[in-house]
Each structure stands twice: as C-alpha cells, then as structure tokens.
Amino acid sequence: MSTTGMKVSRVLELGFIHALGAVGYVGVIALLITYIEGLPTTEDSFTILMPMGFLLLFSASAGVMASIVFLRPALWFFEGRKREALLLVTATLGFLAFGAIAVVLGAHVLVFN
C-alpha cells in the first residue's frame, strides 16, 4: 500500500462502484436504442441523421466510459499512488468482465428456457 494508507478493500469497493456505473450507463443507452428502434419511420426520414446520431453517441459513450473507468486511476497515478491506481483499474475491469458474463448468461437463460 502507498503512503496514503487506503485499504485494498476500499479500492476494490470503488472498482465495484465504477463497474456498476458503467453497467448502468450501458443499460440506459441500450434502453434508449431499443426505444428509438420502435419509433415509426419512413425509409428516407433518417438518411443522414442515423449515422450522425450513431457516431455522436459512440463518441460520447467513449468519453463517458473512459471517465468512469480511467479518470480516478489516472489522477491517482499522477499523485504517485501507482499501486492503488493499477489495482483500481484492474478491479473495475474485472467487475465489468463479471457483469458482462452475468448479462450474457442471463440472456442465455431467458432465451433458451
């Protein structure tokens, strides 16, 4: 542990909270996309708007997800708290992987049972 004395359990807790924030953000975006897909449209009504909307959403999402996953660890790294920063990134990505597996398995159960 570094000189700040932050416990490993607190860093892991922050990683879990960051992963929950990321999963929540992805869930909100998925609901938004599902809602938009259900709107009535004509073939020519969104010719240029759909690709523009997709690219803008993609760019904004990259910024939001980078902030959720990497902002605090980057700040800690530049403060000299390198070990804690690495642990937080690893914990966040590990919890995200666990969440992704849970979503895939949950979808599998819902579809095939």
Lowest model confidence (mean pLDDT) among 1-5, 57-61, 75-79: 1-5
Helix (H, G, I), strand (E, B) or coil at 73: helix
The model's pLDDT over 82-110, given as tens digits with 9 standing for 90+, comes to 999 999 999 999 999 999 999 999 999 99
Q: Is residue 1 part of a domain?
A: no
Residue 113 has pLDDT above 80, yes or no: no
Residue 3 has pLDDT above 50, yes or no: no
Answer whether 0.85 is exceeded by the pTM.
no
Residue 2's alpha-carbon distances to 6, 76, 86, 110, in angstroms, are: 8, 11, 12, 45
Burial of residue 46 (number of CB atoms within 10 Å: 0-12, 13-18, 19+): middle
- Return d(Cα 96, Cα 50) in angstroms, integer: 29
Q: Is residue 2 part of a domain?
A: no
| Domain range enclosing 95 | 8-39+46-112
Q: Count CB-CB contacts under 10 A for residue 74.
A: 14
Residue 62's alpha-carbon distances to 12, 50, 68, 95, in angstroms, are: 23, 18, 10, 18
Number of domains in the chain: 1
The model's pLDDT over 15-72, given as tens digits with 9 standing for 90+, comes to 999 999 999 999 999 998 888 877 777 666 667 777 888 899 999 999 999 999 999 9
